[in-house]
Amino acid sequence: MTLRVVPFDALDALVRDREPVDSETLARAARIVDDVRVHGDEAVIRYAQEHDALLEGEPLLVERPELERALDAVSAEDRALLERTAARIRRFAEAQRTGLEPVTVPIDGGRAGHLVAPVERAGCYAPGGGYPLPSSVLMTAVTARVAGVSRVIVASPRPRPIMLAAAAVAGADAFLRAGGAHAIAALAHGTATVPSVDVIAGPGNRWVTAAKKLVSGRVGIDMLAGPSELVVLADSSADPALVAADLLAQAEHAEDALPILVTHEPQVAEEVSREVAHQLETLPTAAVARVAIAAGFTVLCATEEECFAACDRLAPEHLEVMTRDSELASRRLAHYGALFIGAGSAEVLGDYGAGPNHTLPTGGSARYTGGLSVLTFLRVRTWMRLDDRPASRGLAADAAALARIEGLEAHARAADRRR
């Protein structure tokens, strides 16, 4: 099996109409969300028993003491691994938070500014389908805690002990044993058991994405993330075996994952394809990876400049640069969720807690948004205080004049009273 080759000119047709969720899933998820909104715990339990292996009588919500017991029960090696990874994520998030300071500026007659404040409650979703993803628990919940969120609830279906242990390490207050649209609906609307939250963040399948789209506005969300993507920009200086390994690491995520190679050298495309086929022969997850590889492709460009344009047109979730001067090439790229510069900077190291978050925009949405960060859980709130009326008269006069241009006389009169 090899990566099919497409010319640069065909790229627009391949990336056009990339939507995070299809209309049929959205419609079906809407019925689930509405069911949970109306029937609360009864609906969540029904769906969780049907889809998430929740046992009869098993509590939906695991509270903090049980999370700590789960942490105590894992091996010393696993606990140390979770704690090291959490520390790296925390260090990066703390640096982000430190850079977000209150602002005060003088204005006519007084001062104005902004305060940066966390939301009170956050729901952190972690996928739990084919593979348990404690890394996603750490990425979301640690970041929420660093932002200053008071109550953090993790949600994931069929949680294995390592997931509960990760939630404990991350500082979560509780764990919702449910996934999919019903978990998102419970977090957004609240039930007798599950408190409603202010922000929902974290990656998930199409049902999670559809539900996040439906509840957005009632609660904040991080993004609408579709299938995971990796673009590797490579030239003949790159090791074909390394490029192939990274593409396959992406491909084993799910059958709809999208591995892409971008190069302007035909021999690179040929060598990487041979390596992909060779490595697939011994890959335990080959059944999934083969499907993703079949949907992936190589963009064969005419020049290096065309390669940069192709990467920017794709605006991928993950972008690896393996070229002769990776640093210089990286400065030519404008649109990506996360950038990995040089052969040593594997995307998988970012996935597993080097520091930056692995919850990232997909489907070209990196053109207008970034990945999950402390900003996801923060609000910028402005304030104003005018104590010097003579100094603020010009401001009041201008406000009154603009209000009258807009036909809002009560606004104008309220401003006039400050003159």
Do residues 292 and 313 share a domain? yes
Residues with Cβ within 8 Å of residue 115, at least 6 apart in sequence: 102, 380, 381, 382, 383
Res. 229: pLDDT tops 80? yes
Do 245 and 97 lie in one domain? The reply is no
pLDDT at 240 over 70: yes
Residue 188 falls within a domain, yes or no? yes
Tell me: do 152 and 132 sit in the same domain. Answer: yes
Residue 372 belongs to some domain of the structure: no
> pLDDT tens for residues 377-407?
999 999 999 999 999 999 999 999 999 999 9
Instruction: Kindly indicate the confidence band of residue 225, based on its pLDDT and cuts at 50, 70 and 90.
Output: confident
Cα torsion 273, 275, 277, 283: sign: negative
pTM above 0.85, yes or no: yes
Cα 212 → chain centroid: 12
Mean pLDDT of 339-359: 94
pLDDT at 268: 97
Task: Write down the catalytic residue from 317, 320, 347, 358.
Answer: 317
Q: What is the pLDDT of residues 108-134, one digit of tens each?
A: 999 999 999 999 999 999 998 677 899
Same domain, 103 and 40: yes
Q: Classify residue 15: in a domain, yes or no.
A: yes
Sign for the CA dihedral angle at 60, 371, 352, 69 comes to negative
With a CB cutoff of 8 Å and minimum separation 6, the contacts of 121 are 149, 150, 151, 152, 153, 195, 196, 197, 198, 199
Q: Is residue 149 part of a domain?
A: yes
Same domain, 58 and 144: yes
pLDDT-derived band at 17, boundaries 50, 70, 90? low
Give yes or no for residue 414 having a pLDDT over 90. Answer: yes
pLDDT value, residue 141: 98
Could you tell me the CATH number of the domain that includes residue 60? 3.40.50.1980
Do 142 and 283 fall into the same domain?
no
Give residue 251's pLDDT band: very low, low, confident or very high (50, 70, 90). very high
133 lies in the same domain as 271:
no
Is residue 377 included in any domain, yes or no? no
* Average pLDDT for the chain: 95
Here the tokens at position 76 are: 């010393």
Say if 370 falls within a structural domain. Answer: no
Tell me the pLDDT tens digit for each residue of 62-73: 999 999 999 999
For residues 325 and 396, state if they share a domain.
Answer: no
pLDDT confidence of 247, banded at 50, 70, 90? very high
Assess if residue 326 is contained within a domain.
yes
- Out of 182, 189, 264, 318, the active site residue is 318
Cβ distance 415 to 396 under 8 Å?
yes
On whether both 258 and 402 belong to a single domain, the answer is: no
pLDDT at res. 19? 80
Active site residue 317: yes
1 band by pLDDT with thresholds 50, 70 and 90 = low
- How far lies 89's CA from each of 175, 201, 374, 403, in Å? 20, 16, 11, 48
- Is the pLDDT reported for residue 106 higher than 70? yes
Averaged pLDDT, 17-30: 90
Judge contact between 219 and 198, C-beta under 8 A: yes
Structure tokens at 182: 């019903």
Q: Does residue 284 surpass a pLDDT of 70? A: yes
Q: Given this model, what pLDDT does residue 18 score?
A: 75
Least Cα distance to 62 among 208, 194, 185 occurs for: 194
Are 44 and 14 in the same domain?
no
256: containing domain: 4-20+227-356
Last residue of a domain, one of 155, 188, 221: 221
For the chain, the domain total comes to: 3
| DSSP, res 223 | -
Query: Does the residue 380 lie in any domain?
Result: no
Mean pLDDT of 358-376: 94
Of the pLDDT bands very low, low, confident and very high (cuts 50, 70, 90), residue 2 is confident
Radius of gyration (Cα) for the chain, nearest Å?
A: 25
Domain identity same for 16 and 27: no
Instruction: Judge if 217 and 266 occupy the same domain.
Output: no
Q: State how far the Cα of 71 lies from the Cα of 300, in Å rounded to an integer.
A: 49
Contacts of 346 (CB under 8 A, 6+ apart): 246, 249, 320, 340
CB-based contacts of 288: which residues, under 8 Å, 6+ apart?
130, 251, 252, 253, 254, 255
